[in-house]
Structure 1
Amino acid sequence: MILTLLQNGDYETARTTALRELKNNPESAELHYFAAWAHDALGKEDAAIPFYEKALALGLPDADRKEAYIGLGSTYRITGQPEKASLLFQKALQEFPENNALRTFSIMAKYNQGLEKEALQEALLLLTNTTNDENILSYKKAIQFYAQDLDATFH
């Protein structure tokens, strides 16, 4: 029921229902995840953080865990904690190394840490490895080569 409320955008009802059900089942990873999702969607990022953290600590199925990593990491980032976000995304990428959404959010966290060059390098490599755009693919080798050292010049 809560999942349906979330999927339908009824975040306030989902939030209150999750909080009510958590009183009876405080060790439910799924309920903590739903509460985090609802808080996050309502713009209550600071309130979402402990629910995400608890959901991950209690253990979620892979699909929900990936989403919780993205939600928590993104929330850390936008609440001024890009270092925590980067550490979380590193852990998540060890579990899910092929997840390009996690990689993309990780790149944003690196940017917010002041690691602009590293973030751009990773973004360029991700782009060239995932795009179907023939114009970009025709320069894939060059883009990947230059991405390795964006400050290099050749005379």
Structure 2
Amino acid sequence: MNGWEKRVAAVWADAGGRPEADVESAIEALVAERPAEDAVAVFELAGVRDYVGREAEAEPLYRRALDLGLGEPHRGQAVIQLASTVRNLGRPEEALTLLREQFAGHPEHPLADAATAFAALALADTGAEREALAAALRALAPHLPAYSRAVTAYADDLLG
């Protein structure tokens, strides 16, 4: 992590104790230090727009950061955050597509469980509550050593 990224991380680490406008101003100032084509800076700007509840402004910024070639670990975060944003904008099917394209077949990805959580929310929004619950339970099961097998079986039972 370079010095700029450390300063960004410090703003986010302190965000809960600051007014949203102060967090937004601090991130905007840091983003202004970077070139316009810096994918990480664009991602951070998208994140702060999302943080202050301006999802419609965040969406194109997330897409731009991804188009600029945003790499890991930020890429996985950006896809999850974009999926959450489009879900909040009333497009849960699109959220599911984004998450599946990035994470399907990659259970080893460090954010796979987080992606599943956001997919479960989108599934519930589409009316597929049982599928959403099954997905969440399957993601949770490996973290339950004493009950992993039982929770997995119950998740399977939900889907028939």
Q: Is 1:5 aligned to residue 7 of structure 2?
A: no
Which structure 1 residue ranges, 5 or more long, are not aligned?
none
RMSD over aligned Cα atoms: 2.3
Equivalence for 1:143: 151
Determine what percentage of the aligned residue pairs are the same residue: 33
Give a deviation string over 1:18-57, Cα, whole Å, max 9, x none: 66457xx332211210110111111111111110011011
Larger radius of gyration: 1
Q: How many residue pairs are counted as aligned between the two chains?
A: 145
**Which TM-score applies when normalising by structure 2?**
0.77
Q: CA deviation at 1:147?
A: 2.4
TM-score by length of 1: 0.79
Find the partner of 1:110 among 118, 123, 127.
123
Q: Judging changes above 3 Å, is the alpha-carbon distance between structure 1 residues 106 and 151 closer, same or farther for their aligned structure 2 residues?
A: closer
* Partners of 1:126 and 1:6 in 2: CA distance: 27
Deviation of 1:149 (Å):
3.2
Q: Unaligned 5+ residue runs, structure 2?
A: 16-21
* Residues 67-86 of structure 1, C-alpha deviations (whole Å, 9 max, x = no match): 11111111111111101100
**Who is 1:14 aligned against?**
26
Question: Residue type matched to 2:24 in 1?
Answer: E
Paired position in structure 1 for 2:19? none
In the aligned structure 1, how far is the partner of 2:103 from the partner of 2:39? 21
